Structure 1
Amino acid sequence: MVADESRGSQLLPVLAQLVRFLRQLDSPDNPSPVALGVLRRLDREGPSRITDLARLERTSQPGMTQLVGRLERAGLVLRTADAQDGRVVLVEVTEEGRALIARTHAYYVATLDKLFDRLDPADCETIVAALPALERLAGETAAG
């Protein structure tokens, strides 16, 4: 570690490069990063309003409405009425959407495994050993 560089300034470019790499991968189904993010959120958190999805994914409500429409036409999400308030429309992921998430995840894992195969085994061990600490660091993002 260079003495005058903070840990954050060293980690940020590495994470940015990895995120950029994953966003640019052409998976077999080729979902956009935003579409995949919405599907993952719905799978993880359950049905949501379009307004909430737009806010959480940091996009406009009209843009999210268009995306949900495309996902619905592809059979990846379903719009349903809220049981507590029939005027409210919720979006939920379908089994086909979950299958797309799983296929994309498997493709990303296989791609990363190929990258690991190109590294020195000691580097692989170092990265894997750092994962618990990185998970704790990521957990701090939820804590605020």
Structure 2
Amino acid sequence: MTYANDMPTVEKVARTDAGLASVLRLSVMRLRRRLASERHPDNVLSMNAMAVLGALYRNGELTVGDLAKIEMVQPPSMTRSVNCLVDGGFASRRPHDTDGRQVLVELTERGRTTLLADRARRDEWLTQRLRDLTPDERAVLRRAAPILERLASG
């Protein structure tokens, strides 16, 4: 029988690559869930819909195919997401300038406002949590942030 006091510490588990992977997976998933719970109370959109708005905000107009690649989903799934965003007034469609088969999706003012309000609320929560850390701990996170970004992009 294993008791909580017998469990290895995070530092011990993270000494191997497999242990580090396990600790990071769990920590990142918990942080993601916590950030999701800090959403703006007026936001009715799913996390996936918010990710699409974020892609449009970062990249400007995109085709449904480009959005699907960015979000790593199949085009029919992205079409459904875009339809919901357009129906809600968060995004709009327009014909592609040179390719009549393509449609460009762009962020509307409502979509931009929703995205930025939601981000501001989550950033505020995370900023407060960062203030609770020591300067050395924040320095470690500053060095780790680009590495985590690279892991997430790969």
Q: Which residue of 2 aligns with 1:132?
A: 142
> In the alignment, residue 81 of structure 2 is paired with which amino acid?
L
Structure 2 unpaired stretches of 5+? 1-10
Q: Which residue of 2 aligns with 1:21?
A: 34
Distance apart, 1:143 and its partner CA: 7.6
Percent of residue pairs bearing the same amino acid type: 29
Distance apart, 1:133 and its partner CA: 1.0
Root mean square deviation of aligned Cα: 2.5
- Alpha-carbon contact 2:91-2:105 (below 8 Å) kept: yes
Using a 3 Å threshold, how does the CA distance of structure 1 residues 124 and 69 change in structure 2: closer, same or farther?
farther
Distance apart, 1:72 and its partner CA: 0.8
Of 48, 55, 66, the match for 1:41: 55
Of 74, 88, 98, the match for 1:84: 98
State the secondary structure of the residue aligned to 2:122. Answer: helix
> In the alignment, residue 44 of structure 1 is paired with which amino acid?
R
TM-score, L = length of structure 1: 0.80
Larger Rg: 2
Using a 3 Å threshold, how does the CA distance of structure 1 residues 9 and 141 change in structure 2: closer, same or farther?
same
Cα distance in 2 between the residues matched to 1:23 and 1:46: 24
Using a 3 Å threshold, how does the CA distance of structure 1 residues 143 and 60 change in structure 2: closer, same or farther?
closer
Q: Which residue of 1 aligns with 2:67?
A: 53
Cα distance in 1 between the residues matched to 2:36 and 2:120: 15
Q: Which residue of 2 aligns with 1:5?
A: 16
Cα distance in 2 between the residues matched to 1:104 and 1:129: 26
State the secondary structure of the residue aligned to 1:2. Answer: helix
TM-score, L = length of structure 2: 0.75
Structure 1 unpaired stretches of 5+? none
